[in-house]
Amino acid sequence: MLGPMSVRPPSVDRVLRSAPGAAAVARFGHEATAVAIRAALARVRVGELAAVPDQVALAAISALEAAAVPSLRPVLNLTGTVLHTNLGRALLAEAAIAAATEAMRHAATLEFDLATGGRGERDDHVRALLCELTGAEDAIAVNNNAAALVLALSALAAGRETIVSRGELIEIGGSFRLPAIMESAGTRLVEVGTTNRTHARDYEGAIGPATALVMKVHTSNYRVEGFTAEVAPRELAAIAHAGEVPLLDDLGSGTLIDLTRHGLPRERTVADAIRDGADLVTFSGDKLLGGPQAGFIVGRRDLVARCAKHPLKRALRLDKIRLAALEATLRLYRNPDRLAAELPTLRLLARPAAEIRALSERLTAPLAAWAGTGWAAEVIDCQSQIGSGAMPVETIPSAGIALTPAGRASGAAVEALAARLRGLPVPVIGTIRHGALRLDLRCLEDAAVLLAQLA
């Protein structure tokens, strides 16, 4: 099929001296280009590629470009899950991005007190804000909420007992299991009650001299329904305090504001938990709060201080980049009226379904054209999820586009279409349901990015 030139491949040098070969050297360096050319020449020898220097060089450039695509890169999250753990959870506010960028580029006051010229404390950048926004006496920030729990349990309950309801022994994302976290922190788990019902007397009967903590865990990714009973947070705090042990409330998502103001389902706030008598509250930075990955321990000053002094704190601490982003994110909460405009997580969650439907109608034809013959595209009503375990049952009305294979439904065809979307320069991630590929457009704010690559 290829001409007689395919018999004798050009030399590596000859390809390097071609115009595209020289361009490749300028972009990727001599070493990497020569390696890619040798690989391309191997394809010439088996007849896959013409023995033309320019074409060999172009094949090498394609391979070098493919290898240069970053592994961690932006995607369009059209799954309908706003805080998608596998897609990196919260999108940061512009103020947080700017603060993180400045922190990356310059030396910063990470542990430096400008007033005294002496050593400062890294938690000082967020402590006052966290206290102001939650009503807590003191606060520290660590790597994530799992770290906050490991630290709090290690500092306060190692070698002693922690009491938890059987109905709250959660697993989050495959690797976070509460019993395993407790074991690694060296505290003995004392389970009380049953899966569906736990009463005040169950806790009261379990508190003894070896008890270090009573713990309440937000069952953030499931709900027990039917014949159920749990002890209200305020009553549980009273029980713990009567037994002279602190109550640790793991809120998980932990919003700082009343979400019903934005038309969203009610979620207990961190301030609610503090007001209800929790001595310590742990929660995440990159769930409903809308910041970078982080975890917080807020609450009683003496208990937070014990966590801060524990050797694990150093291992779990935040770097200047995330602290800068966190401080900027928390500052946005000082102006609740601007919050929905400036915090992407809230903006996306509160986005009206009618607006998403209008966008879906605009994008249906371009998507259908891109999918090609054999595919039907239609606007659908769907339900977005908050994600990351926040409010597992409540969903938010949304809209999107379903792509369905015409004629006999084929699972393989839908899988192949999903793979084509993932193969775009900015990969598009949808979900497959009922034999169709569904794209929930709630999180598509910049339609131009999608349109440009469909064209």
Ligand X SMILES: *Cc1c(COP(=O)(O)O)cnc(C)c1O
Residue ranges that bind ligand X, judged by CB under 6 A: 144-146, 170, 172, 176, 217-218, 220, 250, 252-253, 284, 295, 388-389
CB of 26 to ligand X, least distance (A): 44
How far apart, in whole angstroms, are the C-alpha atoms of residue 114 and residue 100?
A: 20
CB of 302 to ligand X, least distance (A): 23
At 328, is the secondary structure helix, strand, or coil?
helix
Q: Answer yes or no: are the C-beta atoms of 404 and 435 closer than 8 Å.
A: yes
Tokens of 11: 């030399």
Residue located via tokens 């109608």 = 361
How far apart, in whole angstroms, are the C-alpha atoms of residue 254 and residue 304?
A: 18
Scanning 372-404, the segments in alpha helix (DSSP H) are none
For strand 247-252 and strand 436-440, is the pairing parallel, antiparallel, or unpaired?
A: unpaired
Q: Which is nearer to ligand X, 257 or 363 (CB)?
A: 257
Q: Which is nearer to ligand X, 36 or 316 (CB)?
A: 316
CB of 104 to ligand X, least distance (A): 22
CB of 295 to ligand X, least distance (A): 5
CB of 147 to ligand X, least distance (A): 7
Q: Which is nearer to ligand X, 25 or 316 (CB)?
A: 316
Q: What is the DSSP letter of 317?
A: P
Q: What is the DSSP letter of 227?
A: S
User: Residue 191 burial (CB < 10 Å; 0-12/13-18/19+)?
Assistant: middle
Q: Which is nearer to ligand X, 148 or 428 (CB)?
A: 148
Q: Answer yes or no: are the C-beta atoms of 28 and 60 closer than 8 Å.
A: no
Q: Which is nearer to ligand X, 172 or 418 (CB)?
A: 172
| Secondary element (H or E) of residue 119 | none
Q: Which is nearer to ligand X, 162 or 253 (CB)?
A: 253
Strands (E), 200-357: 211-217, 247-252, 280-284, 295-299
Q: Which is nearer to ligand X, 142 or 414 (CB)?
A: 142
CB of 90 to ligand X, least distance (A): 11
Closest CB to ligand X: residue number: 252
Tokens of 186: 């060296």
Residue located via tokens 């990015």 = 449
CB of 149 to ligand X, least distance (A): 6
CB of 241 to ligand X, least distance (A): 22
CB of 176 to ligand X, least distance (A): 5
At 390, is the secondary structure helix, strand, or coil?
strand
Q: Which is nearer to ligand X, 181 or 401 (CB)?
A: 181
Q: Which is nearer to ligand X, 389 or 430 (CB)?
A: 389
Give helix 353-371 / helix 447-454 axis angle, nearest 10°.
10
Q: Which is nearer to ligand X, 141 or 417 (CB)?
A: 141
CB of 222 to ligand X, least distance (A): 11
User: Residue 164 burial (CB < 10 Å; 0-12/13-18/19+)?
Assistant: buried
CB of 251 to ligand X, least distance (A): 7
Q: 427: which strand partners?
A: none
Residue located via tokens 């009650």 = 193
Q: What is the DSSP letter of 293?
A: S
Q: Which is nearer to ligand X, 16 or 181 (CB)?
A: 181
Residue located via tokens 């990955």 = 293
Residue located via tokens 């949304």 = 398
Tokens of 257: 């504001």
